[in-house]
Amino acid sequence: MARYLCTKKCGYSVSVAVLVMLLLPVGVNAQFMDGIHASMDKKPKIIFSLEPRKSFIGNSNVTVLGLKIVVEFDKRIRIGGGFNVMTGAHSSNLDKVIYAENGIDTVDVAVLNFNYWCYFVEYVLVSKPKWEISFPVQVGIGSSHYEYTAENNGLQEVDKGGVMLLEIAITGHYKIVKWAGVGVGAGYRFMLQNNKGVHQQFNSPIYIFNAKIFLGAIIEDFSKNGNDEDDKLKTAQE
């Protein structure tokens, strides 16, 4: 069991290290490597994150919602994975008209769908009690396609194909109170492989602005209150 945990931890370290080495100057790699190994020796914490991001497909503004499971080490290194999907209303310019076999009559309008699974590494550049600045990098693999509901055949998917992408950003948050704050960030989405069946431009800047709830602080307060009540009960019984 110990060997398994050691191997798993080493794997995390290698994943983080590879991304850092690719993205940072050679002269500072050693310092980051030392910090990474030191952080990985600390007890990890599990975090769930819901992250909406604004970006563009073509010239249209879209929202991609990400649900992530995060493993945090020493409030310095975060790794994890999740699922991302384009949500909400978007411009009709992104949709595709479906024609009948004669090529003239309109059958329906198919709506663009874009989703992907991601694996990410995030390095916290600056960490203060009230605010933080971090550098997340994520790789995504998924698909894009058009879909519509046919009258007799139900949901239909058109021009479905695989995609692969890389997203890099600088993000930060400010705690208004202990358990809540606001988050901001900016970055870029690079399409490493696009779906040739969907003729849209997916390379795009990314903008992040959202409310943040720090579940760890809430759980910590509830646990502390529970322990205080237990102490008071024990004192009264004595």
CA proximity to 52, closest of 39, 66, 41, 40:
66
The phi-psi region of residue 68 (left if phi > 0; otherwise alpha if psi is between -120 and 50; otherwise beta) is beta
Architecture of the domain spanning 44-237: Beta Barrel (2.40)
Contact 97, 106 (CB under 8 A): yes
**Domain boundaries defined on the chain:** 1-41, 44-237
Which two tokens mark 181? 């704050």
pTM score, two decimals? 0.76
The pLDDT tens digits of the residues spanning 86-136 come to: 997 788 888 888 877 776 767 788 999 999 999 999 999 999 989 999 999
The pLDDT tens digits of the residues spanning 73-100 come to: 888 889 999 999 999 778 888 888 887 7
